[in-house]
Every structure is written in structure tokens, then in C-alpha cells.
Structure 1
């Protein structure tokens, strides 16, 4: 058992309280709510990982497990489809149903219910694409790897991913770091198995649009950096790129706008289980004044704009691959921590 700051209760609700007169344009970051005790989830993650390994053959175990010192494998990930990028480990389509269910249990206990649902929806989108020209799409072309030995005390990492969604989870003692991860989708909207419309990242766009719409003319002059979208700066292979602090700073936002910024960031911070999400949001809230929000593209609701959040503890990018000035049904996204990518601050 350990203590975590209770910044979130359920979903994306943030415990932020303001009192007194209306906040100024440079209002201080609201103080965190009192801490609450949250159970350590690491033993459950380790147990699930070991249960997954127990379902594998000797050959499969050899294929999926790598030494913790294998830094090349720790950083081996991409959003490119099979055929343009060669992944290693175990391919999802080659696993039995029992093995697949055992792996899903690892993801479920590591991620929050919200995060697990988002990742599953992004993953399912790949089945809507048609393979051809040497490019292979579909849920079966996703890969699993374990770097290090699952442990409640020493660091290890699990990797899962393929085209347009990747999760790198470093587990070290009672801490879990999900950075860097690729949070994208192609198609961005599709019809699910029940006939309903699925938009895996729709709430993220809505939150970002709400924030940019709340900005004053002066704030928009700082935040909006260009009239057209751009692609990712911090995607695969960009581990050493320094954070680019541009846009409107958290220190220039009102208290209400800071809450909106935290709500947007929580869409990513809440990917992980509740215990680690509370710590994550506390890290970001503590540096919110030094965190910047930047926007490229129209400030309308078309969805054709790129946004980025850059701070001492977070980098978020959202880049719809827009063509002809309209939003394409194809989204690139990244989630990093400049101080803790690949668990560098906890391993």
C-alpha cells in the first residue's frame, strides 16, 4: 500500500477548487486535493504476466522474452504497418485463444478501464483497413514482447503494438510508466460490431477544441502557431528530440482554463491504472504553469488541426492526417514524459 494524490476520482474528474474573486489571467495552479491511499497494482501485473508466460511453449517463451539490458528492443516500436516495419516477439495472430486472453489480462490490470477501452478501440480500427501492396493490416498483426523478468521489485517492461497504437509499459517496484506510447487511429471513426459508431479519440479532440475555443484573442495569438496541421515531432525514433516549448503557457491561463488543460492531459494520464494515474496527474499539475498548449490549423470544429502539450513532465501530440483542408479519418498521436520515457526515472 502506498499514498497517491487523489487528483481524479472517476473518469476525468479533477479535484480542483477555486475560491474568492474571479481568477485573473495568470491565476495560480489550483492545489491538489488531499492524498488518499491506493493499493499497489504491481503484484497483480506481475501475476498476470507470469500467467501469460505459463500458457506459452518453450519456443514462444524464447521468442517473447528479452534481457533487460537489451536497450534496442526496449525502444523497438513504430506506427508503420507490417510490411514497412519488422517487429519482433510474438504476433497476436499466431497465439491461441487462451494465450490471447491471458495477454489481455496483463493489459487490463496495467491500464484503467478507460485506457483499456480506448486501446482496444484503436486496435479494432485496423480491421477496417484492406491489406495490399505488401502492407498488412488487421488486429492479428500486433506484437508482444517482454523485456526483463516480471517482478514486483526490479524493473521490467512489456511492449504491445502495431499499426497506429503502441503501449510501452515499464514496471518498477510500485511504479508504472506508459511512455512513450503511440495513441492514434486509422480509421478515426468506424462502425463497430454492434452497428454503433466508434470514435476512439473523439473525446480527446472535443477536449482540445474546448480549450482552444476558450482562449482570448491574446491567448490565441500565442497558442495558434500556424494555419495548417503538421505531423508528429516526437514520434517513433525521436527519443532524443528536446521538448519544444511553444504556444500559450499554463501560467497565462485562468483557473478555469487550467482545469480544461488538465482535463485534456488526463485523457492520456488516465490510460494507466488508477493508482499510477493519480501519481501521473500530480506530476503534471505540479508543473502546469511551465506546460504549453500549441495549435496548428483552423480553430473550428472540423477536426483538421494539430495540437501539442509540452511540459517538464509531458509531451502529447495529436495530428489528424488532413488533406485538402478537411479532417482525414487517420490520426497520429504520441504520449511521452521527457523525464521518464522507457521508465528512465524509475528503473
Structure 2
């Protein structure tokens, strides 16, 4: 089967064309300068709400991910497949964003482009490709998007759970390299496979707005556990260590987010080499919350690699443990960058005071399946 690389329309994002506006300001500027009733491009508007809650997680080995990927791809006609499949080294793979669909056009096919049967295959594939916690985080992001779809400005921003896109890079097989990307507003997962196993999940973005909410009688908490775990690790430090760990300020957004591939900031905070065994354990527990997005077998291998370089890992924190307050955390080592940002503000009118997080996970030595 031939792998196609179609051209895609790029819409100005917060970090294209040399600009480095934080995401929140990109949205504000777009809302100010776009004519009423319009947005950066025509985002799909959907009324299909049966997506949330998404189908339950079904544990399966890595080989099942290949089979379900092949079934999903085969369910589309040749024209649709040309939008779904890309070369392994296609530039489209690095063109992802956490901006809403109203402000950024993504490669691939959206959930809204799929039939009910194809949606079922999509979630079966995502379930077999992720760990249980990773699938839960994805589910929570879609639930938050369904919540935002009830906001007065939802249509303008494209806040709908159907506005998440899947794309494949290389052909799924049990030999060689291939990968997939799935994302939309507050989500950008980029997983790579080598010889049938996940080789890297870098870069991957998980965020949410809101963070604590109720939808159709179900209570949700999204990303809050990551915030609380980071704060708990900070509280294990003594006063002198906390002074070393102080990140100094809360940036407007994650520093190594979409559009910043290859950026490795200077390490800040306290080195794990200056921590007690209990403090190091608490720090690793924070890291695991991101690493376990991938299947458990792959997560265990990755955690061992991080533990081996732990003396070179730095931990920085600024803020409290309260949701919807300014918070910044960075955990950084030779092959690891994790950031969490909360600015204590909201864009969605129905999400006021309910929390808004951006987080990023990177292995700067091994991104998009390439070392």
C-alpha cells in the first residue's frame, strides 16, 4: 500500500512564523481581531454528544494495537485513507497543537469524519495503544471538551469532542518503525512503535479545561492528580531544599510545548542527588503519572531508564496545591522534560473557577520515534 503525504492548510498558531505568544494570548488576539461570528478557519460544528463517556478501556498487548490499527485504516475508502496515512518522516507529524479546532487545522481524519463503526474501531485502537491511565486521561479530555461545547462561545472555538484527529506515520506492522498522532484542544499524543512495541511517547501534551466538573451525572477530575502529586513531592522538602526548588515564577504556558521541538531549557530547581530516598520516591511517583500514559510494559522500561539518570534530574516548583491557582512545575533530566502550568484563569465561560492546566512530556533525545 502506498503511503500518501497530502498537503494541509496551516493556520497561524501561537508559535508559528517565529512568534512566541503564549497559547492563551493567541486565543485572546484571535477573538479580538476576527470579525464577529468567524474564527481563524471554519471549524466543524457537531451536535453528536454520544461520544462521552467514550467506550471503556480494554487491556490488550501491543500486537493488538497493530491489528486494530490495520482494521481501522481498512475501514476507510481510498480517498479518506490518503488523508489518514503519511510517510514515516512526513513533516506533518511535527505540526500539532493544543489550540482549539477553530484556530488550528490538523492533519488526518477527525472523529467527526467517522461513522459510528469507525469511531468504535478508533477507540478500540486507542485502548490497545495506551496504558489504562493514558486512556483515562484521553477520555477526560474529551469529557472536558463536551462540557465546553455547552459554552456560548463553543462554535466559534470549535469546542466539540468530535474535533480530535488521528493520523498514522508509516504502515502499522510488527517490524520496523511506525507511529500515530491523536489530538485536538488540550491533547497531543505522539506515540511511536518499533518492532511491535512502543518506543517513545515523546512529545505528548495533556491539558484540560475545566479540571473539576460534572457532566451528564458523572463527576470528573482531570490533571488534578498530577498537580497534587507535584505539590506533595515539594512538601517532602525541608525549608532549605524548597528554596533550591523554587521555580521563581509561573510562565504563561509550558516552555517546551507545540512548535518548540528541539528546545532544551536550562535545568532549574533542586537536583535529585540532594534528596533523601523518600523524596526521590515521591519525585518518581510524579514522573510515573506521565510515563504511564503508554502501556505498562513500556512504562516500566522507561521508568527504569529515568531512575538510572535520577541524580541528574532536577525538580522545580512554584505555587500551592490549590486548583485554579498559579502553579508551575518542571522536572528535567538528560532524557526527560515534564512541565505543568496552571495560570488560575479560564477561557470557557462555563468553566470559570473550575481549573485550566497545560502539561507536556518530552524525551528530547528520542522524539517522534527518532533518536
Interval containing the TM-score (normalised by the shorter chain): 0.7 to 0.9
Q: Secondary structure at the match of 1:134?
A: helix
Note the C-alpha offset of 1:242: 1.6
Note the C-alpha offset of 1:152: 1.0
TM-score (norm 1): 0.82
Note the C-alpha offset of 1:300: 4.9
In the other structure, the counterpart of 1:244 is: 266
Closer/same/farther in 2, CA of residues 215 and 189 from structure 1, 3 Å limit:
same
Note the C-alpha offset of 1:249: 0.6
Note the C-alpha offset of 1:120: 0.8
Closer/same/farther in 2, CA of residues 135 and 320 from structure 1, 3 Å limit:
same
Write out aligned runs for 1:276-315 (5 A): 276-296=298-318, 298-302=319-323, 303-315=325-337
In the other structure, the counterpart of 2:89 is: 69
Pick the aligned partner of 2:171 from 149, 160, 168: 149
Question: Residue 49 in 1 paired to residue 72 in 2?
Answer: no
In the other structure, the counterpart of 1:192 is: 215
Write out aligned runs for 1:1-347 (5 A): 41-70=61-90, 72-129=91-148, 130=151, 131-132=153-154, 134-176=156-198, 177-193=200-216, 195-228=217-250, 230-296=252-318, 298-302=319-323, 303-323=325-345, 329-345=355-371
Equivalent residues of 1:91, 1:140 under 8 A apart: yes
Equivalent residues of 1:90, 1:145 under 8 A apart: yes
TM-score (norm 2): 0.77
Q: Secondary structure at the match of 1:140?
A: coil
Q: How many residues align?
A: 302
Note the C-alpha offset of 1:96: 0.6
Equivalent residues of 1:79, 1:163 under 8 A apart: yes
Residue ranges of structure 1 left out of the alignment (5+ in a row): 1-39
Closer/same/farther in 2, CA of residues 137 and 90 from structure 1, 3 Å limit:
same
Equivalent residues of 1:245, 1:292 under 8 A apart: yes
Residue ranges of structure 2 left out of the alignment (5+ in a row): 1-59, 347-351
Cα RMSD of the aligned pairs, angstroms, is 2.0
Closer/same/farther in 2, CA of residues 189 and 299 from structure 1, 3 Å limit:
closer
CA distance in 1, matches of 2:363, 2:174: 22
